[in-house]
Structure 1
């Protein structure tokens, strides 16, 4: 019986492990980061799409795109002239986990979670909402 040498077996195992790990690493690089309860520093270059904003709004912050979901209905976001995110009195910061609020002219709406979106999905949803 012809058995491969021990170093050859380890080399083969290392190559198989590397081949299996590569697709997972590539998927992690291309998937948007999840925000969970983490916070996002908001820039001056932002856009809030509020059409159909009863339960959520779309947010573009620079080149990053998100769906910001509220804990309850936020009907004041639809008609308000002023929209601004605030976290514990601090502006230009947005956090999930009910730590941030969307301030409107008449009320404030608590942010439940922030969901990252790809730019194409953001644009598609924004177009659908504007119809």
Structure 2
């Protein structure tokens, strides 16, 4: 192998390694990375109009779509809603660890998707039509 090819191969390896190292750093900045739990703040908004597979959640300054494992249309008309994880209220976790408790049922949370404020507002407008 000549020196030029060896340098090119080395440069490609360094670039690939640095790209792989950058991905976890970006994932750590995402508030609701897979498998993480989200602590609910006292300043929150739950948008459930049109709910069947998900609800919208504003938690302080952060915005999310909370997806359910199955249909959860009862969330749209229930008077009381609370997220419960391991018997404790005030926390939402992905992967079936959390339930949304309604007046007459429960819905299992599948995943929590972080979204930006503009997307949240757009989805709220769509649901209010």
Q: What residue number does 1:42 align with?
A: 40
- Distance in structure 2 (CA, Å) of the matches to 1:28 and 1:39: 18
Q: Where do 5+ consecutive residues of structure 1 fail to align?
A: 1-12
TM-score normalised by length of structure 1: 0.76
SS in 2 for 1:125: helix
Which is greater in Rg?
Answer: 1
Secondary structure at the counterpart of residue 122 of structure 2? helix
Distance in 2 separating the partners of 1:75 and 1:34: 24
The CA RMSD measured in Å over matched residues stands at 2.3
1:51-90 pair list within 5 angstroms: 51-90=49-88
Identify if the C-alpha distance between structure 1 residues 38 and 32 changes in structure 2 by more than 3 Å, giving closer, same or farther. closer
Q: Distance in 2 between matches of 1:124 and 1:91?
A: 28
* 5+ long unaligned stretches in structure 2: 1-10
Deviation at 1:28, TM superposition (A): 3.3
Deviations 1:38-64 (A, max 9, x none): 101101111100011100000000000
TM-score by length of 2: 0.77
- Aligned partner of 1:109 among 107, 110, 121: 107
Shift of 1:122: 0.4
* CA positional deviation for 1:88: 1.0
The answer (yes or no) to whether the contact 2:85–2:93 under 8 Å persists in 1 is: yes
Cα deviation, 1:68-116, whole Å, max 9, x if unaligned, reads 0000000110100111111010100100010001111010100000000
Paired with 1:81 and 1:95, the residues of 2 have a C-alpha distance of 23
Q: CA deviation at 1:34?
A: 4.1
| Cα pair 1:55 1:73 within 8 Å, conserved | yes
